[in-house]
Chain A
Amino acid sequence: MNTSTGAVTSTDYIIHHLTNLTQGEGIWQINIDTLFFSLILGGVFLAIMGFAAHRASSGVPGGLQNFAEILVEFVDKQVKDTFHGRNPVIAPLALTVFCWVFLWNLMDLVPVDLLPEFGKLLGVHYMRVVPSTDLNATFGLSLTVFLLIIFYSFKVKGPVGYAKELLTHPFGPYLFPANLLLNVVELVAKPISLALRLFGNLYAGEMIFILIALMYGAGWLLGPFAGVLQLGWAIFHLLVITLQAFIFMVLTIVYLSMAHEESH
Chain B
Amino acid sequence: MNIGITLIGQMLSFALFVWLTMKFIWPPLMRAMERRRQTIADGLAAAERSKLDLELAQKKAGELLHEAREQAADVLMEAAKRASGIMDEAKSQARAEGERQFLATRAEIDLEANRAREHLRTAVAELAVAGATRILEKEIDRNAHAKLLDSVVAKL
Q: How far is the CA of A35 from the CA of B30 in the complex (A)?
A: 30
* CB contact list, A1-51 vs B, under 8 A: 18, 20, 24, 26-31, 34-35, 38-39, 42, 45-46, 49-50
* Chief secondary structure at chain B's binding surface: helix
**Shortest CB distance A56–B (Å):** 4
Query: 26 interchain pairs (CB within 8 A)?
Result: A20-B1, A24-B5, A29-B6, A30-B9, A34-B6, A35-B10, A39-B13, A46-B21, A49-B21, A49-B29, A53-B24, A56-B31, A58-B36, A58-B38, A61-B32, A65-B29, A69-B29, A72-B30, A134-B1, A136-B4, A136-B6, A136-B10, A137-B6, A137-B10, A143-B7, A144-B14
Residue A263 interfacial (CB < 8 Å): no
**Shortest CB distance B11–A (Å):** 5
**Cβ-neighbour of A139 out of B3, B20, B32 (below 8 A):** B3
Interface residues of A, Cβ cutoff 8 Å to B: 18, 20, 24, 26-31, 34-35, 38-39, 42, 45-46, 49-50, 52-54, 56-59, 61, 65, 68-69, 72-73, 76, 88-89, 91-93, 95-96, 100, 134-137, 139-141, 143-144
Q: How far is the CA of A59 from the CA of B40 in the complex (A)?
A: 10
List B contacts of A72 (CB < 8 A): 26, 29-30, 33
List A contacts of B4 (CB < 8 A): 24, 26-31, 136
**Shortest CB distance B65–A (Å):** 42
List B contacts of A45 (CB < 8 A): 17
* CB contact list, B1-54 vs A, under 8 A: 1-11, 13-15, 17-18, 20-22, 24-33, 35-36, 38-39
The 4 tightest CB contacts between A and B, nearest first, are A140-B10, A58-B35, A56-B32, A136-B6
A134 touches B26 (CB 8 A): no
Interface residues of B, Cβ cutoff 8 Å to A: 1-11, 13-15, 17-18, 20-22, 24-33, 35-36, 38-39
A30 touches B17 (CB 8 A): no
List A contacts of B24 (CB < 8 A): 50, 53-54
**Shortest CB distance B6–A (Å):** 4
**Shortest CB distance A98–B (Å):** 11
A56 touches B28 (CB 8 A): yes
List B contacts of A31 (CB < 8 A): 4, 6
**Cβ-neighbour of A42 out of B17, B28, B32, B36 (below 8 A):** B17
List B contacts of A134 (CB < 8 A): 1, 6
A49 touches B25 (CB 8 A): yes
**Shortest CB distance A213–B (Å):** 20
Q: How far is the CA of A56 from the CA of B32 in the complex (A)?
A: 6
Q: A28-B4, A92-B21, A141-B10 are in contact. Are A65 and B26 (CB under 8 A)?
A: no
**Shortest CB distance B10–A (Å):** 3
Q: How far is the CA of A49 from the CA of B114 in the complex (A)?
A: 131
**Shortest CB distance A86–B (Å):** 14
Q: A29-B4, A135-B1, A144-B15 are in contact. Are A35 and B9 (CB under 8 A)?
A: yes
A53 touches B7 (CB 8 A): no
**Cβ-neighbour of A53 out of B8, B14, B25 (below 8 A):** B25
Q: How far is the CA of A81 from the CA of B6 in the complex (A)?
A: 34
